[in-house]
Chains A and B, each alone.
Chain A
């Protein structure tokens, strides 16, 4: 992306952005202690001697956390390091009980890899451009506690301390706020898909720092980077980056100099302020943690994890377009929620009418869920039942308007569509062939004018017979069957 100059003579700039994303791993216990993890508990209840760094306490690696980061790495196409080790990152801060954080310095679990992103298309019906954003690394570390500052004192809650945390570092390969937004959206979906994290930003399960620099278009050398912190929603990431790019361009255009610093972005006011300069940066004195042994990750371990890896959203989308011939708009709704996509595939498989099933899900099911403020997991309509509904409509047993009615009741009661249709007398009368045939004969007999027109070749004249049939059937006749019966009788009369 080039940023247009504010005056004709000014330079065009290109933004270069790298993201550091912290993702909390969903794990039953902390990364180096056996005590549980969670959000919203009484302060300092999810602690033990290890989490509180009492004298004599020692860390022990939680293998489930390692499984999760290996899975993340496999999903994102990283190389999984055959050996990973743990390092201490030393710094004093009251949210860090040991005053060092167990992290990974030179041997992270995952190296390389990429995140596939989709930029907005020309309209919402059209797929946008796809890019692959390369990753530098993913490493495992422990989360810190939480500080809350009062007027005269500060309180610290160590419940979060020691929660397994992945740091996913991208190459400086993003060039706009929109790309960063798309990157986070895709990364978040991948983590949720893999069951690695719930990525709830409000609960701090996904946090993002951005390194942003600008350079004149065509320039190869990177400009001075500014680190933006506290971007605590995906929209704030987009807005914060856009703001920082504007700030840097304006600064350079005024003849100013960008200084390497860390800035704090306030999403509510849309402003940022300097937190610290490069000179105040820490010397973390990394060294291998002597309390933890390096760990070998062999092929068997990787294969065991690989077997649990789901198909990723974009792969699924390409398959849905191909296999089910779905329109792009449907796929772009279905694939981002793994449970919804699975729901769709089950229903489509059972009824053989993929697009109809997809439409029901995207239009009706999601609307009802939205109205009820419910999740798919709470939905009482099973994919099998939705498939039955599609089949009833397809067979002409239910007309669309009735089917909608049936669906609403299915959603409310969880009953089968056939049962509801029977109960409410909504089924088309098509099943009773003799009765329908008699109504058709009566209608033809009662309208010789239309009969003559039809015989003269005016096909639309057939519609004149349908009204009385429907009236006789009290609206429950299957229109397709009515049409077929009328044509058969007309051909013979």
Chain B
């Protein structure tokens, strides 16, 4: 049986659109009808606008007919996490606070996707303000893992990973502050790339932790990730943290770089808490690389044990300030019970934010407070420097680092009630954000009960080309991301 359109890869569909075997309208209709069929059980979307998507698809087909195709993304339905601004579409960050907010502007990645001709499709669910690892912190509804509807899809970009795995989009964008692209990618059996900090503009991304947030692609194959990254990466005047770098043709570079790579295995990433089935699948991936002639050697990232603490100081400090703008004054949820302006702040924020968001705002406010700043925030920044140094030291001897993406496969919805247990889901992904490095999660098999597993490759700063090539060397042969769940 041929693979239905909604489960094909971006590269394949681009090829078929270019050959006029299919139209964007046909493809977009297929994705929409698939979504209508499975969304009731997956619940990956916060909102979607089929009429708008179909109009974009028609425009794409018209361009192509006029010989003005904009490249491989032209006509491809791409879903966006509901923290990325799309003009005239809701932008909720899965929060009650922004439940009725409609963005009056396009974020930079949105503009770039439009310029590449992509069909922007839907607003994808996530943990509220991207804070969480299961998408259960969404104020609206949880999202199910398409491989097991009783399990979480990971988070915070769980809507993005679930929609992709369920065939409700051809590719999606997520955002990653401590693992929020890679962990849900691993849990849903798709590819997720967090680019080097500063490679992709954050303008139009609802800020959680500014010094850690990055937007990145989630796709079925590494090749697809290379295509999508190429469309969104590059310097942006509107983001002061955006890097002035040349953007190579990532997809073309995949073929040019064949390794072998020197692969480092950080011993701190294979300790207690790692699920044996995950460990075994990752070990098989390592063996594959060894078989390609890659040199695999153990390395050490000695400050790994401090990553989680450091992250929860820096990220919450920045969040406490970033989320101060949600006050009910200019937009967003405004309490009707308020007696005065201070009460308006209290009531609106009490009603508008969920428990995890409040927890992080309180933590962040605390660590920045007079008398605590030096002991917490300043110290965390110093440790952050040490963590980055660990990685850069390791990269003196190896080209990439290989680790599990998540210590465990998808867990049951409602299973993790202790916030600390939830925080541990990101133990292998957080260091990468603190160090500002690029990293990719590549699907590498399934557990005995059929839950996806992913491994993580971590690259040198701005070496997305090398990272993608190394990941592609595995993925082009194994292609676990092409497997489809039965829904």
Contact = CB atoms under 8 A, between A and B. Distances in A.
Contact of B241 (A53, A100, A285, A293): A293
A217 interface: no
A52 interface: yes
A287 B321 contact: yes
**Chain A facing B: main interface SS:** loop
A378 interface: no
Interface in B282-327: 317-318, 320-321, 324-325, 327
Interface in A81-140: 88, 90, 92, 94, 97-100
B388 interface: no
Contacts of B318: 290
Interface residues of A, number: 29
A35 to B, nearest CB: 13
B345 interface: yes
Interface stretch (B114-122, B138-146, B198-206): B198-206
A56 B324 contact: no
Interface stretch (B59-67, B157-165, B368-376): B368-376
Interface stretch (B41-49, B101-109, B440-448, B458-466): B101-109
Contacts of A94: 327, 329, 341
A99 B365 CA distance: 13
B321 A54 contact: no
Given A49-B105, A100-B321, A287-B321, A55 B98 contact: yes
Contacts, number: 97
Contact of B105 (A54, A90, A92, A293): A54
B316 to A, nearest CB: 12
Given A100-B324, A154-B341, A290-B318, A56 B370 contact: no
A173 interface: no
Nearest to A154: B341
B202 A99 contact: no
B150 interface: no
Interface string A369-387: 0000000000000000000
Contacts of B341: 94, 154
A288 to B, nearest CB: 9
Given A60-B238, A60-B240, A94-B329, A49 B104 contact: yes
A285 B370 contact: yes
Contact of B240 (A61, A92, A283, A286): A61
Contact of A287 (B202, B206, B239, B377): B377
A154 to B, nearest CB: 7
A59 interface: yes
Interface string B338-363: 00011001000000000000000000
**Chain B facing A: main interface SS:** loop
B91 A287 contact: no
Contact of B368 (A52, A90, A98, A154): A90
A419 interface: no
B85 A58 contact: no
B210 interface: yes
B414 to A, nearest CB: 29
B111 interface: no
Contacts of B107: 56
Given A54-B105, A56-B203, A92 B324 contact: yes
A56 B210 contact: no
A407 B239 CA distance: 58
A321 interface: no
Contacts of A287: 317, 321, 368, 373, 377
A286 B367 CA distance: 11
B457 interface: no
Interface in B205-221: 205-207, 209-211
Contacts of A52: 330-331
Interface in B157-204: 202-204
A92 B206 contact: no
A56 B321 contact: no
A292 interface: yes
Interface of B: 83-85, 91, 93, 98, 101, 103-105, 107, 202-207, 209-211, 237-241, 317-318, 320-321, 324-325, 327, 329-331, 341-342, 345, 365, 368-370, 373, 377
